[in-house]
A and B are shown apart, each in its own frame.
Chain A
Amino acid sequence: MAGQQHDLHTQTLAELAKGLSDGTFSARELTEALLSRIDEHDASLNAFISVTADWALARADDSDAARSKGKVSALSGLPIIYKDIFCTSGVLTTCGSRILENFVSPYDATVVERLSAAGAVMLGKTNMDEFAMGSSNETSYFGPVKNPWNTECIPGGSSGGSAAAVAARLSPAATGTDTGGSIRQPAALTGTVGLKPTYGRVSRYGMVAFASSLDQAGVITRTAEDAAMLLSVMAGFDERDSTSVDHPVPDYVGGLGASPKGLKIGIVRQHFDAGLDAQCGARVKEALSALEQQGAKLIEVDLPNLDLSVPTYYVVAPAECSSNLSRFDGVRFGHRAEGAKDLLDLYCRSRGEGFGAEVKRRIMTGTYVLSAGYYDAYYLKAQKVRQLISQDFKNAFASVDVIAGPTAPTPAFKLGDKTDDPITMYLNDIYTIGANLAGLPGISVPCGFVDELPVGLQLVGPHFAEGAILACAHQYQQLTDWHQRVPEAYQ
């Protein structure tokens, strides 16, 4: 009997789409089921900043009504949650910051607009590191997010709320943004699939900017197939974002059948250096063997400047952020300090009160590297190194189709473990940052566990090769069931 399904939360988008289409359940039933999951479990995770229950139910009813008239589009009635960095008209968009604690956007981001137009139903907005600056979700003004696999552990970041919610089966899919690994690293640490597309593949319009030349919107799901479904809707040129690229959007779902047979997979020697946890390394190697058994060829490649990617990133990203965050000045929107005695006081206190420690650290770093007398030594030098890193990837892709390796150096660590040591925290993104600096697409797919904590395999492709990495990830998921494992407390 419809409405009595107890497993809706465990189904993937593809499965749910079929159920809705077959009339097994309605969008309203699905939405109610997930809202009640959120209601029941989010207190233990803190994955949501806003839950838009009334809005979701109204949209679900609209979707059911439309479906009864034969009006169906790609994502009709399917649930989605948005990282709270995407502007959503009429709903809070906080970016995990006090400075935007009460900010209600007057418009929808392009990603939101496209997913909504395709029929997706927003359940809520997810917690994140403040302004996407963090790798553990501990910098959020709204408190840290817990990892569903072990609530004493971080879920990764900055898209930690999205990853935790998808891992805990509170939603089958979420959006995220990835500036240095912010989709892939939390996906790895929560046992989910995280896709960061090519820079320019998805519009940045309506995404609160952190580092404009690195930011890219993507998705967190449980399967590569679901990621492909969403990307097909999100991708494409947007005239409102000059850096989005007018490049044809292929049928990502249709391309998932491509066999790994003959696929040339590049293995980066530097990925398996001392920085990588040995057990994580073992899981990744097992995954690579599995692909090899399917006929893929493993070929060693060299990324000689890989060790420079983290320092390069921590010049470029803070430089851009220091400028991007200047608009939060207490004048037009967001937090404004009370009783400012003059303009400077208004600026200093609004920003001083509104931003957290990590954001301030990066604004100061960025301001420093752009300052007269330091610009050449830092910013300009970093841009040159960035070119070298891009070239390294280009050279590698001359001989391989994808590059595979670990997503993160360790499984999820304990809350508070690295908060006093920013450098160690930053090194968590060592394997992911390269793809951002070079603008390449990357995906993290679950490949096993270490001490009951998930480990991710990362696949990086050449520009606009989302189809290839999605297919490879999908084929790997056909061989494994890591993504079907559910954290104990969230069955």
Chain B
Amino acid sequence: MSAGWEVVIGLEIHNRLATNSKMFSGAPNAYGAEPNTQACLVDLGYPGVLPVLNTEAVRRACKFGLAVNGTISRRCVFARKNYFYPDLPKGYQISQYELPIVQGGELVIEDENGNDKRIGITRAHLEEDAGKSVHEGHDQSSGIDLNRAGTPLIEIVSEPDLRSAKEAVAYMRKIHSIVRYLEISDGNMQEGSFRCDANVSVRRKGQQELGTRTELKNLNSFRFVERAINFEIERQIEVLEDGGEIVQETRLYDSDRDETRPMRSKEEANDYRYFPDPDLLPVEIDDTYIEEVRKTLPELPDAKQARFVGQYALKADDASLLTISRATADYFEAAVEAFKDSPRIAANWINGDLSAALHRDDLDISESRIGPAELAGLLARIQDGTISGKIAKEVFEAMWVGEGSADAIIEAKGLRQITDSAAIEEIVDAVIAANPAQLEQYRAGKDKLLGFFVGQVMKETGGKANPGQVNEVLKSRLKKD
């Protein structure tokens, strides 16, 4: 669809910082309470009240800035963004304008061809969130819930370096992973803790100047980001190919209809009249502070992935999956600590069966029903040949539903692998004897029937026979005569 066109995307990600209290008041910063129960007089914009900066929000923003190699402003200033809206109690939002806390920065994503691509970060600034207008359940009026009013956000603005919806999602996922690694945010997208606006434009390939952009507001899932951008790209190309012009406007993505459409004209020609907030002092940040924050930075996803590949000889893809979240990576390392023989097997199990089980039960890895040490116990029994990989899956499921440790389950269910060659030979002979037709065909050259015989042996032994030994014995017995 986009042959001959180049897509240019920049994202503004709004990330709620998981501080205990709000950005400028002592009210709790928590999601999901009854409307207007977590808003104090400051949040309500009462006459005479004043904002007091939550320094923990500043620390978290610094942490983010350092994690993306940004420059922390030694002096940053809060500014008022003035506009009227019922969910904005003061008639202005306290944000940062000319002097944001983080300037510059970058991160690396994988582009569509699997190559590393650097994405620039223009800035990240601190601001307070607005409340919510509630339109459902009110007849002739709208409700206002100010619980969210004043909760701290960092807005992370990218350079227009993204060239496809897929890249945009990769970038957003990377930021999501970083803020969770840093533990500055819960990153919960359903609750709106992590959402973005996408600026999208297209231009003819080779054209220098940017096309007119539209802004897609409030995209709160990776899937919606991808769909909304793709819809918008197609729409813009279609308009331009039909000889039309793109109108610079704000558009909303409707996930039910999978389309974007212009928002009401509220935003049109808004002059926010930014000016420094005289109620707040400029924030002065010195090198000592920055170095102290830097010391608290954890190992970040890219570094961890590289280390996993080197230290544990993992494939890049496996390491990448394991480092998506800090909790997953920690789980892996704890499992490997208890089971040192094969990090690769541990990786396969975590990315495979464990991940599937978590997904099935909608659990986070921190809530896993099987802990890393217990998983290691299972892997050890595979490694030492007590059970086969196939039996291990059965043991895993039993562990998942709480039947005990791997050893206890193997014992209780009699799942120990049969490795006694005399016993295996006996069963193999019986199986061959019971299937003369297949034996004849095999000997006539139908090698594929080996699988049939293996299956029969396994069936007889309840899957407990050592598969390698079974293969070996079968091959030699089938050849006989």
The listed residue (A208, A323, A333, A343) touching B91 by CB distance below 8 A is: A323
Contacts of B44 in A (CB 8 A): 332
Closest chain B CB from A5 CB (angstroms): 37
Considering only residues 240-294 of chain B, those with a C-beta below 8 Å from chain A are 271, 273-275, 278-281
Q: In the complex, how many angstroms separate the beta carbon of B57 from the nearest chain A beta carbon? A: 14
Number of interface residues of A (CB under 8 A): 44
The stretch among A17-25, A119-127, A144-152, A370-378 that forms the contact with chain B is A370-378
- Mark A326-348 against chain B: 1 for CB-CB distance below 8 A, else 0: 11110111000000000100010
B275 touches A375 (CB 8 A): yes
Per-residue contact bits, chain A 344-383, to B (CB 8 Å; 1 contact, 0 not): 0001000000000000000000010011100100010000
Within 8 A of A (CB), among B66-117: 80, 82, 84, 86, 89-92
Q: Does B82 contact A331, Cβ atoms closer than 8 Å?
A: no
Within the complex, the shortest CB–CB distance from A205 to chain B, in Å, comes to 5
A207 at the interface (CB under 8 A from B): yes
Kindly state whether residue A11 has any CB partner on chain B within 8 Å: no
Residue contact B41 to A107, C-beta cutoff 8 Å:
yes
Knowing A213-B278, A371-B271, the reply to whether A327 touches B50 (Cβ < 8 A) is no
A70 interfacial by beta-carbon distance below 8 Å: no
From A235-243, A257-265, A441-449, the one touching the partner chain is A235-243
In the assembly, what is the distance between CA of A370 and CA of B275, in Å?
7
Q: What is the minimal beta-carbon distance from B22 to any residue of chain A, in angstroms?
A: 14
Tell me, yes or no, whether A103 is within 8 Å of chain B by CB: yes
A-chain residues with CB within 8 Å of residue B86 when the two chains form the complex: 329, 331, 343
- Complex: how many Å from CA A240 to CA B51? 7
Q: Does B431 contact A (CB under 8 A)?
A: no
Which B residue's beta carbon lies closest to that of A366? B273
Q: Which of A87, A211, A323, A379 contacts B92 (CB 8 A)?
A: A323
Kindly provide the distance from the CB of A436 to the nearest chain B CB, expressed in whole angstroms: 12
**Residues 434-454 (chain B) with a chain A CB within 8 angstroms:** none
The smallest C-beta distance from B263 to any residue of chain A, in angstroms, reads 15
B346-364 at interface with A (beta carbon < 8 Å) = none
Contact in complex: B47, A326 (CB < 8 Å)? no
Report chain B residues within 8 Å CB of A205: 48-50
Q: Does B144 contact A (CB under 8 A)?
A: yes
8 Å CB contacts to B: which residues of A72-109?
Answer: 86-87, 93, 95, 100, 103, 105-107, 109
Chain A residues with Cβ below 8 Å from B49 are 205-206
- Once A and B bind, how many residue pairs between them come within 8 Å at the CB atom? 97
Residue of B nearest to A320 (CB): B278
- Whether the pair B279, A212 counts as a contact (CB closer than 8 A) is yes
Distance of B150 from chain A, by nearest CB (Å): 13
Q: Are B84 and A93 in contact (CB under 8 A)?
A: no
A209 in contact (CB, < 8 A): yes
Among B48, B53, B86, B89, chain A packs the most CB atoms within 10 A around the CB of B48
Q: Does A201 belong to the interface (CB within 8 Å)? A: no
| Contact assessment for B84 and A326 in the assembled complex, using a CB-CB cutoff below 8 Å | yes
| Known A-B contacts A242-B280, A367-B273; A323 and B48 likewise in contact (beta carbons under 8 Å) | no
Among A106, A326, A371, the one with the most B-chain Cβ atoms within 10 Å of its Cβ is A326
Q: B275 to A87, Cβ gap below 8 A? A: no
Given the complex of chains A and B, what is the CA–CA distance between A106 and B279 in angstroms?
A: 21
CB distance from B116 to the nearest CB of A (A): 40
- Could you say which residues of chain B place their CB within 8 Å of the CB of A212? 278-279
Interface string of B185-221 (1 = CB under 8 A from A): 0000000000000000000000000000000000000
Contact among B45, B47, B80, B273 for A95, CB-based, below 8 A: B47
With both chains docked as a complex, state the minimum distance between the C-beta of A29 and any C-beta of chain B, in angstroms: 33
A331, B80: Cα distance in complex, Å: 20
The 5 A-B residue pairs with the shortest CB-CB distance in the complex, in nearest-first order? A326-B91, A213-B278, A370-B273, A212-B278, A206-B48
A/B interface sample: 29 pairs, CB < 8 A: A93-B48, A205-B49, A206-B48, A207-B48, A208-B48, A209-B47, A212-B279, A240-B52, A242-B50, A242-B51, A243-B50, A243-B279, A243-B280, A319-B275, A325-B91, A326-B84, A326-B90, A326-B92, A327-B45, A327-B47, A327-B90, A327-B91, A331-B144, A332-B89, A333-B47, A343-B86, A370-B275, A372-B273, A379-B275
B interface list, Cβ under 8 A from A: 41, 44-53, 80, 82, 84, 86, 89-92, 144, 271, 273-275, 278-281
